[in-house]
Amino acid sequence: MAGKVRAKFYVQEVRHVHQQDPNACCAIVKLAAVYGNGQGNEDWSKWTPQGSVEMTITNPDAVAAFELGASYFLDFTPAE
């Protein structure tokens, strides 16, 4: 894998958080690892079959980009 890891995660939860400002957006998006045969994630999940990511997002367009139950790739590359 030499410096790069690609992992497949699915959206487990999208929870909208109430804000005092009715025009403000805040949501917590939780993702969980996809693992198992035939899931397109074998290189990573063969050795690390569990994982989670939780993000608090205040950008409405970014919140809308995450569909409950949909899968997404997360690419981890060194930041230089």
Structural domains in the chain (count)? 1
What's the pTM value of the predicted model, to 2 decimals?
0.79
Q: Which burial class, exposed, middle or buried, applies to 30 when counting CB atoms under 10 A from its CB (0-12, 13-18, 19+)?
A: middle
- Sign of the Cα torsion 3, 35, 42, 40 reads negative
Q: What is the domain extent for residue 39?
A: 5-74
Residue 40 lies in a domain: yes
Residue 66 lies in a domain: yes
Condensed to tens digits (0 to 9), the pLDDT of residues 19-28 reads 888 888 999 9
Condensed to tens digits (0 to 9), the pLDDT of residues 14-56 reads 999 988 888 889 999 999 998 776 666 666 666 666 899 999 9
Residue 80 lies in a domain: no
